[in-house]
């Protein structure tokens, strides 16, 4: 007979989003169960953010050091790939989640290991690793946080070619002499940067006209330029039509549209994500298996006041920090509604944009940092997005390298910054920074965009001298001097 256990809250999926819901509901004193099929910590901890950044950090530090007089000579050699892999393995905990397990225990959350499926309203059925079954009943809420997985397009020959996805690209322990990368977005750009620095001869095959297509055009252009200088080949406007690997440990060949054939030792398909929803019982609550789960700004699934979805699975923003933001908001709302004794209670101002129970930043102030060389970081709208949305805007651009702090940071510092100003409200709608260290510049812009800080007040936010942040002064001066 299936055992049934009751909790206040059941969270399905223990990635960063699911974990943060648990953190909030436990802090509010609600009994909470977390169901996890693989490793607590999710994709981010073991096959995405953490291992990718651990691989990239030595590559970016070396690139920076090579531009510093007096230091360049000391870092001319290759990276010690084994030491880099050891560093990455340390940060993934050797793909073991003991630390996360202990943290869950320390906050009094209950971990159910196994595959979870919704089983009608407020119910989650868990199939454990030994085939055992448990039915979890939620008094207040079920939160789906099952994340996403890599999509591999069904090209002829692809299955037999055993391509890498982001999982292999972040966890491999051997440097392939030649790495072909299909895709042009964030995973492609970051992994091309890491593996070229680790010693692979990387060729990136971009279907579109540039790298990083969701950012301002200069971001992808500067990153492609630097990748080429590092020895990688970046080809745009090319389409992979078929893949061939004749022998298991032999080379892999990609056939391009037009018939050209490229050969590599490994092939990374960095071609996007799909929701992990095909086998989680969505059909038992009237939702479509295999689809992203649509939610309102309060992270609730319309028509089901007990059902929330946070993180990648709702497709609002496929980023760890944003999934955690959604989790904090959903967790707080669940706790408040539980305390009030009704899921349907009107939440007043808290449910309004920028209120405690609304994930407004997902659409209005979404930041992203891409850890390429140079780094590319942006928040809010690009110029094209702002124009498409019907805002009356002006873009102001600056050469990041012209700022004293950048010149002192590295010889020949190359970079660019743009702010997109709403001319009617005189506030920023977005900003983009591309250059070494740019990832740390974006949070100031996030505050300006989320806070709708007036341009007139930004003049009083004085950047320290000589930091790269002085680019803010250059941007404000350019805006002032350009007039309307
Ligand atoms: C290579 C790469 C690098 C990235 N780098 C960054 C970065 O630097 N910064 C950033 O912000 N984002 C980055 N991302 C994106 C980031 O990884 C995701 O946005 C984040 O992991 C999403 O978190 P999540 O909790 O929604 O889902 P996930 O991390 O995918 O976790 C979902 C969890 O649910 C579990 N699960 C799924 N189905 C079930 C089920 N039926 N039963 C039980 N458990 C289940 C899974 O096992 C998994 O542990 C990167 C992505 C990739 C691919
Ligand atoms: N530093 C970070 O914040 C970071 C790092 C890595 C990934 N991520 C997140 O993870 C998610 C996944 O990233 P991603 O780069 O895998 O996916 P993506 O969805 O951002 O981009 C996929 C790319 O693959 C291309 N593509 C799709 N099918 C193709 C085909 N058949 N042939 C050639 N190209 C094809 C698309 O044109 C697109 O440019 C993104 O949302 C990203 O924001 C974030």
In a domain, 111, yes or no: yes
CATH number of the domain to which 304 belongs: 3.50.50.60
The reply to whether ligand 2 has any atom less than 6 angstroms from the CB of 143 is no
Ligand 1 contacts CB of residue 146 (under 6 A): yes
Is 6 annotated in a binding site? The answer is: no
Look at residue 17 and tell me if it is in a domain.
Answer: yes
Which SS3 state, helix, strand or coil, does residue 85 take?
helix
Which ligand 2 atom is nearest residue 213's CA? 39
Query: Would residue 473 count as lying in a domain?
Result: yes
Is residue 303 very low, low, confident or very high in pLDDT (cuts 50, 70, 90)? very high
Regarding the beta carbon of 271 and ligand 2, being less than 6 Å apart is answered yes
Q: Taking Cα atoms as reference points, which of 479, 365, 482, 366 lies closest to residue 426?
A: 479
pLDDT for the residue numbered 2: 83
Query: Is 147 a known ligand-binding residue?
Result: yes
Check if 36 has its Cβ closer than 6 Å to any atom of ligand 1.
yes
Same domain, 188 and 244: yes
Note the pLDDT tens digit of each residue in 76-130: 999 999 999 999 999 999 999 999 999 999 999 999 999 999 999 999 999 999 9
- My answer on whether 282 and 414 are in the same domain is no
- 459, two tokens: 């003049």
Q: For residue 347, what pLDDT is reported?
A: 83
Q: How many angstroms separate the CA atoms of 413 and 64, rounded?
A: 9
pLDDT of residue 212: 98
pLDDT tens for 262-281 read 999 999 999 999 999 999 99
Is the pLDDT at 484 greater than 80, yes or no? Answer: no
pLDDT for 193: 98
Ligand 2 neighbour 318 (Cβ under 6 A): yes
148 is in an annotated binding site: yes
143 in a structural domain: yes
Averaged pLDDT, 66-75: 94
Alpha-carbon span 231 to 130, nearest angstrom: 49
58 lies in a domain? Answer: no
Give yes or no for residue 1 having a pLDDT over 90.
no
Sheet holding 261-264, edge to edge: 240-244, 252-256, 261-264
Q: How far apart are CA 246 and CA 251, in angstroms?
A: 8
Convert the pLDDT of each residue in 22-41 to its tens digit: 999 999 999 999 999 999 99
Question: Among 340, 362, 384, where does a domain finish?
Answer: 362
pLDDT at residue 259, rounded to an integer: 97
Domain carrying residue 240: 150-272
What lies within 8 Å, CB to CB, of 324 at 6+ separation is: 16, 17, 20
Check pLDDT > 70 for residue 345: no
Nearest to 308 by CA among 44, 31, 95, 122: 122
**Residue 160 shares a structural domain with residue 264:** yes
User: Distance of CA 117 to CAs 104, 122, 237, 283, Å?
Assistant: 21, 11, 41, 10
pLDDT of residue 96: 98
In a domain, 117, yes or no: yes
Closest atom of ligand 2 to CA, residue 189? 15
Q: Is the CB of 240 under 6 A from ligand 2?
A: yes
Q: How confident is the model at residue 348 (pLDDT cuts 50, 70, 90)?
A: confident
Ligand 2 atom having least distance to the Cα of 371: 1
Q: Is 190 annotated as a binding residue?
A: yes
Which pLDDT score is estimated for 358?
97
As a whole number, the mean pLDDT across the chain is: 97
Distance 182 CA to ligand 2 centre (A): 10
In a mutational test of the pocket of ligand 2, which residue from 164, 168, 183 has the highest number of ligand atoms less than 8 Å from its CB? 183
Shared domain check, 132 and 10: yes
What is the CATH classification number for the domain harbouring 450?
A: 3.30.390.30
User: Is the same domain home to 264 and 191?
Assistant: yes
Q: 407-429 burial, b for 16+ CB within 10 Å, e for fewer?
A: eebbeebbbbbbbbbbeeeebbb
Among 246, 272, 298, residue at a domain's last position? 272
Span 197-213, mean pLDDT?
Answer: 98
Q: Residues 188, 280: one domain?
A: no
- Ligand 1 midpoint to CA 166 (Å): 11
Binding site membership of 182 for ligand 2 (Cβ less than 6 Å): yes
Please tell me whether residues 423 and 467 are part of one structural domain: yes
Q: Are residue 382 and residue 475 in the same domain, yes or no?
A: yes
Residue 344 reports pLDDT greater than 80: no
Give the end of a domain, one of 241, 272, 303.
272
Residue range 181-193: average pLDDT?
98
Closest residue by CA, ligand 1 atom 9: 49
Check whether residue 323 and residue 356 sit in a common domain.
yes
For residue 451, pLDDT over 80 is answered with yes
The structure's pTM equals 0.97
C-alpha span between 48 and 210 (Å, rounded):
23
Determine, yes or no, domain membership for 407.
Answer: yes
User: Is residue 54 in some structural domain?
Assistant: no
Query: Which pLDDT band, with edges at 50, 70 and 90, does 346 fall under?
Result: low
pLDDT of 282 above 80:
yes
Report CA-CA distances (Å) from 26 to 10, 107, 110, 372: 11, 7, 10, 37
Interval 226-259: pLDDT, tens = 999 999 999 999 999 999 999 989 999 999 999 9
Interatomic CA distance for residues 91 and 45, integer angstroms? 8
Q: According to the model, what pLDDT value does residue 131 have?
A: 93
> Where is average pLDDT lowest: 2-6, 403-407, 435-439?
2-6
- Ligand-binding annotation for 166, yes or no, is no
Q: Does the beta carbon of 143 sit less than 6 angstroms from any atom of ligand 1?
A: no
Kindly give the pairing relationship between strand 123-127 and strand 261-264: unpaired
- Same domain for 13 and 112, yes or no, is yes
pLDDT value at residue 288? 98
- Clarify whether residues 284 and 260 are in a common domain: no
Q: Is 42 in the pocket of ligand 1 (CB under 6 A)?
A: yes
Q: Whose CA is nearest to atom 19 of ligand 2?
A: 272
| Pairing label, strands 273-275, 148-150 | antiparallel
Same domain for 172 and 35: no
Number of domains observed in the structure of the chain: 3
């Amino acid at each position: 007979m299936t055992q049934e256990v009751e909790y206040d809250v059941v969270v399905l999926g223990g990635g960063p989003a699911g974990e943060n819901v648990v953190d909030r509901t436990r802090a509010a004193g609600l009994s909470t169960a977390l169901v996890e099929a693989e490793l607590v910590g999710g994709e981010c901890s073991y096959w995405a953010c953490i291992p990718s950044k651990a691989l990239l950090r030595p590559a970016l530090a070396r690139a920076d050091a090579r531009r510093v007089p007096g230091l360049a000579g000391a870092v001319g050699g290759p990276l010690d790939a084994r030491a880099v892999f050891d560093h990455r393995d340390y940060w993934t905990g050797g793909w073991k989640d003991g630390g996360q397990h202990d943290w869950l225990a320390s906050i009094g959350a209950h971990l159910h290991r196994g595959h979870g499926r919704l089983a009608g309203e407020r119910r989650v059925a868990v199939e454990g690793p030994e085939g055992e079954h448990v039915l979890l009943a939620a008094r207040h809420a079920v939160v789906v946080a099952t994340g996403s997985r890599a999509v591999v397009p069904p090209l002829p020959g692809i299955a037999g070619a055993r391509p890498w996805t982001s999982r292999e690209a972040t966890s491999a322990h051997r440097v392939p002499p030649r790495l072909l990368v299909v895709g042009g977005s964030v995973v492609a750009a970051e992994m091309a940067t890491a593996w070229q620095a680790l010693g692979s001869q990387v060729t990136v095959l971009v279907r579109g006209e540039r790298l990083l297509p969701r950012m301002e055009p200069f971001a992808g252009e500067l990153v492609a330029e630097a990748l080429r200088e590092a020895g990688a080949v970046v080809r745009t406007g090319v389409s992979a039509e078929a893949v061939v690997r004749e022998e298991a440990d032999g080379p892999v060949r990609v056939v391009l549209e037009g018939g050209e054939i490229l050969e590599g030792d490994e092939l990374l398909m960095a071609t996007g994500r799909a929701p992990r929803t095909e086998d989680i019982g969505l059909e038992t609550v009237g939702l479509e298996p295999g689809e992203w789960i649509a939610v309102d700004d309060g992270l609730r699934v319309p028509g089901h006041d007990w059902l929330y979805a946070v993180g990648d699975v709702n497709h609002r923003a496929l980023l760890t920090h944003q999934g955690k933001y959604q989790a904090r908001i959903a967790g707080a709302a669940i706790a408040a509604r539980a305390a009030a004794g009704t899921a349907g209670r009107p939440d007043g101002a808290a449910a309004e944009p920028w209120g405690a129970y609304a994930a407004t930043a997902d659409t209005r102030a979404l930041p992203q940092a891409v850890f390429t060389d140079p780094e590319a970081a942006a928040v809010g709208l690009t110029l094209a997005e702002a124009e498409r949305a019907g805002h009356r805007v002006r873009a102001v651009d600056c050469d990041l390298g012209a700022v004293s702090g950048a010149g002192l940071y590295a010889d020949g510092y190359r970079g660019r910054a743009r702010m997109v100003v709403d001319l009617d409200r005189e506030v920023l709608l977005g900003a983009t920074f591309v250059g070494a260290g740019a990832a740390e510049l974006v949070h100031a812009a996030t505050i300006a965009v989320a806070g709708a800080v007036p341009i007139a007040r930004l003049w009083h936010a004085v950047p320290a001298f000589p930091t790269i942040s002085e680019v803010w002064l250059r941007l404000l001066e350019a805006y002032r001097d350009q007039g309307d």
